[in-house]
């Protein structure tokens, strides 16, 4: 399709696009938006909206547009969230959790860092493949290693030691851009954690397969009801209390805890924001949560259409990973308005 740019009114006309996925940026790099646009009947259509721009369906950031640049990306994956290998519905957790069926969470990313070669790459965080060029993760994963050259994104893994996967489906990709939310705050004592969300841009497109495929994003504003069991996955510490990467990918079903409960003084109180999701168990014999090494990974919920959506990003939890009335906390990917979908900064580094 073709694009017409009008700086004065931010009018965007999209012609002859039946399905387009666009990355929309402001020239002063205040925001980025990844979204899907469906135009009807494969006919020439025009979408026009003055500031603030809003196009429904998928978006990350919508706020404060100035002049607009539009970069065409390949179409948003229509078969997202549909793993070729069915995941187990077992309800145990990542700490004391259950091993996932190999490659049943094909969007799971092992984010691996090396401060300099020949120091070997080490697993640091999880992430979610949401597009053939994009990874969704937590912003705190890039403390202190915040340069793209430190990182690689590995997909198609089950065992952390890939030689144990026979045949191996692993594919690792270099990174050429890291976009952390410009309002990101992460105090180590958890007195203030805000906007813990980031995008990672890959240096080349991912080759999709039955072992590697993207997860869907929820629609803006979507909120899963309390009690909904969603799955956290990762290679994080299986015991709690120390950084100890699991050898195999684990999974756990954690029920969503409503905001009113999780924001009580005995729970997370004023640390909690509406742009976060709490999930976990309350009974001492049921306590389950995410842990070190799971950070940035997906909190995946099954939609009404039976596809999987990444509703949360593993952000933080209690010291030692398991504690009464301290469920795991996730950044809510569907949050809008005053939540994390406001501004991403420093986006020019990988576009120029």
Q: What does the pLDDT read at residue 162?
A: 81
Q: Which residues contact 265 (CB under 8 A, 6 or more apart)?
A: none
Average predicted confidence (pLDDT) for the chain: 73
Lowest mean pLDDT: which of 66-80, 120-134, 142-156? 66-80
* Number of domains, the chain: 3
234 shares its domain with 312: yes
Q: 33: domain range?
A: 2-73
208 shares its domain with 241: no
192 shares its domain with 287: no
Q: What does the pLDDT read at residue 270?
A: 84
Q: What does the pLDDT read at residue 108?
A: 98
Residue at a domain's end among 53, 73, 93: 73
Q: How many CB atoms lie within 10 A of CB 224?
A: 22
192 shares its domain with 237: no
237 shares its domain with 327: yes
* pLDDT tens per residue across span 255-284: 999 999 999 998 888 889 899 999 987 665
* pLDDT tens per residue across span 13-34: 333 333 334 444 333 333 333 3
202 shares its domain with 114: yes
- DSSP assignment letter at 260: H
Q: Which of 45-59, 74-88, 111-125 has the highest mean pLDDT?
A: 111-125
Q: Which residues contact 54 (CB under 8 A, 6 or more apart)?
A: 62
130 shares its domain with 55: no
Burial class (CB in 10 A: 0-12, 13-18, 19+), 88: middle
Closest CA to 214 of 165, 153, 265: 153
| Distance (Å, whole) CA 201 – CA 57 | 21
- What are the DSSP E strand ranges found in the chain? 2-6, 11-15, 19-26, 32-38, 68-73, 98-99, 108-113, 122-131, 134-137, 151-155, 171-180, 185-186, 193-194, 198-202, 229-234, 250-257, 276-279, 298-302, 308-316, 328-332
Residue at a domain's end among 189, 215, 241: 215
What is the model's pTM? 0.74
| Distance (Å, whole) CA 164 – CA 105 | 18
Report how far apart, in Å, the C-alpha atoms of 190 and of each of 46, 203, 293, 341 are.
Answer: 46, 33, 17, 21
263 shares its domain with 294: yes
Quick check: is 11 in a domain?
A: yes
| Distance (Å, whole) CA 188 – CA 98 | 29
The catalytic residue positions are 140, 196, 295
Long-range pairs for 73-76: beta carbons < 8 A, 24 or more residues apart = 73/21, 73/22, 73/23, 73/34, 73/131, 73/133, 74/21, 74/132, 74/205, 75/19, 75/20, 75/21, 76/19, 76/21, 76/36, 76/131
pLDDT higher at 319 or 10 = 319
* pLDDT tens per residue across span 218-241: 988 889 999 998 999 999 865 544
């Amino acid at each position: 399709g073709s694009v017409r740019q009008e700086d004065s009114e931010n009018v965007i006309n999209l012609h002859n696009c039946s399905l387009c996925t666009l990355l929309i940026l402001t020239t002063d790099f205040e925001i980025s938006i990844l979204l899907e646009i469906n135009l009807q009947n494969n006919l020439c259509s025009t979408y026009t909206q003055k500031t603030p721009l809003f196009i429904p369906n998928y978006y990350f950031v919508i706020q404060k547009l100035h002049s607009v640049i539009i970069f065409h990306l390949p179409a948003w994956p229509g078969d997202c969230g549909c793993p070729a290998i069915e995941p187990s519905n077992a309800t145990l957790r990542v700490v004391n959790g259950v091993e996932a069926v190999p490659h049943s969470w094909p969007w799971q990313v092992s984010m691996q860092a090396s401060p300099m070669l020949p120091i070997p790459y080490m697993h640091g965080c999880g992430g979610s493949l949401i597009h053939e060029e994009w990874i969704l993760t937590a912003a705190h994963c890039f403390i202190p290693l915040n340069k793209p050259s430190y990182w690689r994104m590995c997909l198609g893994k089950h065992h952390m030691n890939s030689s144990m996967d026979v045949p191996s489906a692993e594919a690792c990709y270099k990174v050429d851009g890291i976009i952390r939310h410009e309002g990101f705050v992460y105090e180590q004592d958890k007195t203030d954690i805000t906007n813990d969300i980031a995008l990672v841009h890959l240096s080349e497109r991912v080759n999709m397969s039955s072992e590697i495929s993207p997860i869907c994003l929820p629609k803006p504003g979507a909120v899963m009801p309390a009690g909904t069991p969603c799955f956290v996955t990762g290679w994080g510490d299986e015991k709690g209390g120390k950084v100890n990467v699991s050898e195999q990918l684990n999974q756990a079903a954690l029920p969503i805890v409503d905001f009113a409960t999780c924001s009580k003084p005995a729970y997370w109180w004023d640390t909690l924001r509406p742009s976060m999701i709490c999930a976990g168990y309350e009974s001492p014999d049921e306590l389950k949560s995410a842990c070190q090494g799971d950070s940035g990974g997906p909190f995946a919920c099954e939609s009404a259409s039976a596809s999987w959506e990444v509703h949360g990003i593993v952000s933080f939890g209690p010291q030692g990973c398991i504690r009464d009335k301290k469920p795991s906390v996730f950044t809510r990917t569907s949050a809008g308005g005053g939540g994390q979908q406001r501004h991403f900064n420093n986006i020019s580094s990988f576009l120029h």
